[in-house]
Amino acid sequence: MNLNESTGMALANQPHGAEGNLNNGIKQSTHQHLKEKEKYWLYILSNSKHNGPLYLGDTTCLETRMAEHHQGLRRDYAHYHRLDRLVYFEVWNDHDKFVARLRRVRNWPRDMRLLLIESLNPEWDDLLTQFLGTSSNNNEVTDRNNEEKAA
């Protein structure tokens, strides 16, 4: 009979090391659950020119990432080419599907990316203001719902 070191309780019908497998299973399912709740963002930046350079990025927090781009904290392709206009974005909840989509779009030629942008944003407007408006409205609704539950 084995003893569980953390609780001192007997582990009668488990072979040696089974408690480790149980803990690993719990950790993996918790990690998978957290992974499912997280949002994954695929986004494309450009400048004011329709034929200008494009930057395809990904993040778990689009609002923070866009602030980093605008403040010049990220010294990357977007910074050096002054790409400050959010022209396209997608949000995913499933990490595996997100990674598959990201790889697919990264392998597309420029023409395909242009078609993707123009299918949803034909005027090449900066979508950041729309996104921030939607994001803050969602937070206000959540705050109101939490206040109503507390009352």
- When pLDDT is cut at 50, 70 and 90, the band that residue 51 belongs to is confident
Domain ranges of the chain: 40-141
Higher pLDDT: 109 or 20? It is 109
Is 60 exceeded by the pLDDT of residue 25? Answer: no
CATH 3.90.1150.10 fits 40-141, yes or no: no
Residues sharing a CB contact under 8 Å with residue 100, sequence separation 6 or more, in sequence order: none
Mean of the per-residue pLDDT values of the chain: 76
Strand, coil or helix: what is 67?
A: helix
Residue with the larger pLDDT of the pair 8 and 61: 61
Which tokens is 58 given? 């990904």
Q: pLDDT tens across 56-74, in order?
A: 999 999 999 899 888 878 7
| Weakest mean pLDDT among 3-7, 33-37, 65-69 | 3-7
Q: How far is CA 2 from CA 6, 17, 26, in A?
A: 12, 9, 20
Question: Per the confidence metrics, is the pTM higher than 0.95?
Answer: no
User: In which band, very low, low, confident or very high, does the pLDDT at 110 lie, cut at 50, 70 and 90?
Assistant: very high
